[in-house]
Amino acid sequence: MTKTAVITGGTGGMGMATARILGTDHRIVLADLNQERIDAAIVELSASGIDASGTVCDITDRASVEKLMVFAEAGDHHVRAVVHTAGVSPQMGSAQFVAHINAIGTVNVTEAFLARAAEGDALVNVASVAGHGLPKVLVPSGAFPKAASDPVAFEKIIVRRSRVFGKKLHSGLAYSFSKAFVIWYSRKQAAAFGARGARIVSVSPGSFDTAMGKLEADHGAADLLTFSAIKRFGKPEEVAAVLAFSASEAPGYLTGTDILVDGGTRAGQEFKKS
């Protein structure tokens, strides 16, 4: 049977790079916000011999995510992997906007896939280095369980806590908290996926050369190179290799954890004084 992989944020930098790799042995279903961009991505992938299709999906809308899954399953296909790259960065909107898309979107995608996950399946959620190394007292982790049960209350707490360092860092902190949530939530869901013989991991990129990475370059992303071991932005295909491998059947014992792909940034921050 043909294997199917769904890629959210599929027309984005990391989404397309992942589609090029997973597409060598999976049928690819792209999900993103804009039909024209989806059509252009399908043309590009098809030209390389990849079986690609796609549909508009807003990950913040649970019904839209469910429609995506039904679209991907049409013709009696089974979705064996989801690579969830869809997300937004601090420069793209308010703290609430960022928390809503990154956190609630991840809950929607995870729950929709969990409901049909089977032996050998895998979900890879994209988090961020920004979700690592935050002072524990700062992170409103007590609110994290509410993301699934009471998303409005969850967002309110995230937005309120993000104000702690003033207006300038509001969206930035909400981004960090939303990605700390993705890491926490992916670990928390490991047992539920395991009960179905499936896996879930998060992958945390550092600064990567995509549309989003370029947008954030002058707002802190480029400063991280001071600490990184590799003094350049990562290439989309370098994180896509990890996303595709994590989603493949090969790492059958990899679940409930986060993989940091940050060019040694966190290591550099940790050892900067020694």
Q: Taking CB under 6 A as the rule, does residue 131 contact ligand NAD?
A: no
Parallel/antiparallel/unpaired status of strands 79-84 and 122-126: parallel
201 has which bridge partners? Answer: 124
Separation CA 212–CA 192 (nearest Å): 32
Considering only residues 101-120, where is the footprint of ligand NAD by CB under 6 A?
Answer: 101, 105
Q: Taking CB under 6 A as the rule, does residue 230 contact ligand NAD?
A: no
Considering only residues 65-94, where is the footprint of ligand NAD by CB under 6 A?
Answer: 85-89
| Other beta carbons less than 10 A from residue 9's beta carbon | 27
DSSP H helices, 125-169, are 146-149, 151-161
- Looking at residue 49, its amino acid is G
The residue range among 40-48, 56-64, 140-148, 265-273 that interacts with ligand NAD, by the rule CB under 6 A, is 56-64
Q: 């991991």: which residue's tokens?
A: 201
Cβ–Cβ under 8 Å, residues 45 and 23: yes
DSSP string, 194-247: HTTT-EEEEEEE-SBSSHHHHHHGGGTTGGGGGT-SS-SPBPHHHHHHHHHHHH
Rounded least distance, CB 14 to ligand NAD, Å:
3
**CA Rg, the chain, in Å?**
18
Question: According to CB under 6 A, which one of 11, 162, 202, 246 is a site residue for ligand NAD?
Answer: 11
CA angle 249, 42, 88 (to 5 degrees): 75
Q: Taking CB under 6 A as the rule, does residue 128 contact ligand NAD?
A: yes
Closest CB to ligand NAD among 152 and 195?
152
Closest CB to ligand NAD among 32 and 258?
32
Q: Taking CB under 6 A as the rule, does residue 9 contact ligand NAD?
A: yes
Rounded least distance, CB 217 to ligand NAD, Å:
9
Q: Taking CB under 6 A as the rule, does residue 210 contact ligand NAD?
A: yes
The residue range among 10-18, 67-75, 134-142, 150-158 that interacts with ligand NAD, by the rule CB under 6 A, is 10-18
Considering only residues 22-51, where is the footprint of ligand NAD by CB under 6 A?
Answer: 32-33
Q: Taking CB under 6 A as the rule, does residue 155 contact ligand NAD?
A: no
Closest CB to ligand NAD among 143 and 203?
203
Q: Taking CB under 6 A as the rule, does residue 241 contact ligand NAD?
A: no
Cβ–Cβ under 8 Å, residues 91 and 128: no
Name the residues that contact ligand NAD, by CB under 6 A.
8-9, 11-15, 32-33, 57-60, 85-89, 101, 105, 126, 128, 205, 207-208, 210-213, 221
